[in-house]
Structure 1
Amino acid sequence: MGTDLDTLSPMSTTPALRGLAQVNIPADDVAATRDWYAQALGVQPYFQQPDAGSPAYVEFRLGDRRDELGIIDRRYLPSPEGHTGGGGIIARWHADDLEGMVAHLMSIGATEHEPITPRGDEGFVTASMLDPFGNILGLIHSPHFLEQL
């Protein structure tokens, strides 16, 4: 995933952010949070890692586009040091060139919130940045998002 500044240019025909790919909710008790959301949404998660008995991450697919709602153990999220906002949801935007997008955002004043992190061996990679105003901008390279197009 090299940097291609042409894809980040305002004149490009391919937008740098292609759509909301995933929303993550941090949880201290992933299983209890999963059960509450399953009841609230009327669906069961389709993915649980490492297993359903003691998950660190679960994911639901919702709506017509099968958008992803993930619940992640708070211990796997970056430390909130230096960030004054409350906790909550990290919405992740799909980026074809995640590394290039991170470099671009840093070049215009964003700082790293969560480093570029491969998630398993299926091509999912995440990162998050703090914009100059303290907001979290979540990024993901998601093979699932690309399959849906």
Structure 2
Amino acid sequence: MLRGIATINCYVDDPAAAATWYTEVLGIEPYFSRPGPDGRPAYVEFRIGDHQQELGFIDRRFAPAGLGAGAGGALVHWHVDDLERALARLIELGAAPLLPITEHGPGFVTASVVDPFGNVLGVMTNVHYLDMLAARDELVQEG
């Protein structure tokens, strides 16, 4: 049923500021932006990673009712090649440490931060993710 991350949406007070910060983190500009009724960006979206998954930032004014303090949610972890370096860069750019680097078993190591807009951003090294990429690359080379 669940086949992969399609879009992750984060609600922020200032989508333009989120776009600027994440442009610095990711090294790319958002590929899509939609203005709100006041002309300011209401939604910005990046396509990132090996599968070009969507990471969008929505003006908090448009959050669904009930998505406030105490609302449940998911901690999404993005695979990174160098966890220590990625975590250090996020903190250098203004993210606050949340969970330290933690090994959950061989090949599964996580950490998380809170970005300057209040969203939890998880990063990890994940052996299954790397295995999937290797298998995909092998199929491409054979094909």
Q: TM-score scaled by structure 1?
A: 0.44
| Structure (1 or 2) with the greater helix fraction | 2
Greater relative contact order (Cα < 8 A, sep 6+): 1
